[in-house]
Structure 1
Amino acid sequence: MTAYAVGQLRNVQMNDGIVDYLHGIDATLAPFGGRFIIHGGTRETLEGSPADDLIVIAFPSKAAARAWYVSPAYQVLVPLRLQGAEGDIYLMEGVGSEHRATDILDVG
């Protein structure tokens, strides 16, 4: 099942650390089958007033996403990201095409 690394970053400052992070991250994704789904782009706010930047990276599985995050290649970049951004990073499994909203009600 596809899984996603989701980043909600706040107070992003485009400094040398962030620039170096951006130059390095793509190479860390490839060995784990990761690819950006959402990264930058124009946001059209329909409700609320979000202050975060949203980043979503797809991986073939949650195990692949976790392996990417803990990999030495990515971990060396984390301090660079932290030089210019605060935020939350988490992994989430996706759902299949047959998923319906009420499926989460089945605690069964």
Structure 2
Amino acid sequence: MTAYAIGNLCPPARVEDIDERVLVYMERIQSTLDPFGGRFLVHNATLDVREGQWTKALVIIEFPGMDEARGWYDSAAYQELLPFRTDHMAGDVVLVEGVAPGYDAAHTAAAMRAMQQG
């Protein structure tokens, strides 16, 4: 099942204030993704916030599965590069498994209703 790395990052308000090491991170990250089949789905995109407040930058990277996502994040190549971002830009990153093809939230709701009713 497809998996995703989702970043909720806090870049500086002005491009001029981005640390050089963050730019190096951006230049090199794809080479750490390639061995694990990772590809950017969302990066540096303009957000159209419809509910709540969103002040951070969203990054979504797709992987063939959770094993590949974990393999990428834990890889020596990525761990060596990671401080270039984390030392200069705050944020949160999660790895999450996607839903199966044909997923229907109504089925999940029905299962939850059944659990509520005992």
TM over 0.5: yes
Deviations 1:15-73 (A, max 9, x none): 11101100110100000000001101211111222011110000000000000000010
RMSD over aligned Cα atoms? 1.6
Count residues with an aligned counterpart: 108
Please report how far the alpha carbon of residue 97 of structure 1 lies from its aligned counterpart in structure 2 after TM superposition: 2.8
Q: Does 1:61 align with 2:80?
A: no
Percent identity, aligned pairs only, is: 40
Q: Does 1:9 align with 2:9?
A: yes
CA distance in 1, matches of 2:107, 2:97: 14
Q: Which runs of 4+ in 1 moved over 2 A?
A: 102-108
Q: How does 1:1-108 map to 2 (within 5 A)?
A: 1-12=1-12, 14-105=18-109, 106=111
CA distance in 1, matches of 2:56, 2:107: 29
CA distance in 2, matches of 1:45, 1:9: 16
- Higher helix residue share: 2
| Structure 2: unaligned runs, 5 residues or longer | none
Higher deviation after alignment, 53-62 or 41-50: 41-50
Q: State TM-score, norm by structure 1.
A: 0.91
CA distance in 1, matches of 2:66, 2:89: 25
Please report how far the alpha carbon of residue 100 of structure 1 lies from its aligned counterpart in structure 2 after TM superposition: 1.0
- Contact 2:45/2:58, CA 8 A, preserved across alignment: no
